[in-house]
Amino acid sequence: MSDILFERRGAAGVVTLNRPDALNAVTHAMVRALAEQLSAWATDPGVTRVVVTAVSGRAFSAGGDLRALYDLGRAGRSDEALQYWRDEYRLNATIKRYRKPYVAIVDGIVLGGGVGVAIHGSHRVAGDGFRFAMPEVGIGFFPDIGATWFLPRLPGETGTWCALTGERIEAADATALGLATHRVPSARLPDLLDGLCGSVPVDALLAAFAEPAGSSPMQPHSPAIDRLFRADRVEDILSALDTAGAATGPAAVFARHAAATIRTKSPTSLKIALAQIRRGKDLDFEACLRTEFRIVSRVVTGHDFYEGIRAVIVDKDQSPRWRPPTLAAVSDADVAGYFAPVAAELDLS
């Protein structure tokens, strides 16, 4: 059985992510297959919309195939690993530019590379199980797949909080923030999929199925996020969190938790992530992807990415040994080097 399934159902081209045992992690072959199929459907007059879903389970997609990328890097085949990201970022751009409605139905965990398959589409439907996160700084990586574009464009400093903590966002908050465009209860998603395969306009159909987002667990913390995550240095953000955490009450508990979480992440990744969020505010979408390719071209030959995957996925000891181990040891010049042009830039033409 293929890891990604394509089916023509009525007016819809239906994509199903089909690696449930691997939480639908996106492989290089899946990236290439989806790009090829989207190209074919783009010029097929019988296909008026694309719908992306996943086999039922815990995850829409828990990200990219990190173990395969780890193995390539450890074998000295970083050029092959880079080709994965080159193709993945091109796919992100294809989805962003797609001229037909592209509806992602997300009813489970959606992380990293899985976010890239969903978030750049015109319509993003959150089911009850929707859980979004960009947890890359915890594995010595950085929020990519266009996060340089969409995280700075979330309200206030929410994107900064997402990037530095990797915390998960549930369906109600995702809808309020614009990460999801519609909130539909899981029990109604099969009927929604059936409806999307018909001829009713996508916007009208989704409006008929959508329900209010519901109460927002994150909303009470928004003022604290906007106040405590606005600095341009990770050290200053941590200082603000520590000061707020010394008080009492729910805001102090939130601040202490955020600070403790950030301190477990790769210092290099934290500084890269904050720099990309700040830079991304002034870049267009394609410039954001080219920026990410410059970063990953350096990360793939470094230490922390492989150490993070070792600790979380390979040995599973959850005790990464970051290099360098402190924020103070990561200079502004070190960070700037990740953003410098590379010999073979990302071509999105």
What is the residue whose two structure tokens read 């109600």?
A: 172
Q: Tell me whether residue 64 is one of the annotated catalytic residues.
A: yes
- Dmax (CA) of the chain: 61
**Active-site annotation holder among 108, 113, 121, 308:** 113
**Active-site annotation holder among 65, 136, 157, 304:** 136
Q: Tell me whether residue 304 is one of the annotated catalytic residues.
A: no
**Active-site annotation holder among 65, 88, 144, 157:** 144
Q: Tell me whether residue 46 is one of the annotated catalytic residues.
A: no
| 34 touches 114 (CB < 8 A) | no
Q: Tell me whether residue 146 is one of the annotated catalytic residues.
A: no
User: What long-range pairs does 303-308 form, CB within 8 A, spacing at least 24?
Assistant: 303/140, 304/140, 304/141, 304/266, 304/268, 304/269, 305/73, 305/139, 305/140, 305/141, 306/70, 306/73, 306/74, 306/140, 307/140, 308/138, 308/139, 308/140, 308/141, 308/266, 308/269
Q: Which two tokens stand for residue 7?
A: 């089916």
Phi, psi dihedrals of residue 55, rounded to the nearest 5°: -60, 145
User: Which residues belong to the active site?
Assistant: 64, 113, 136, 144
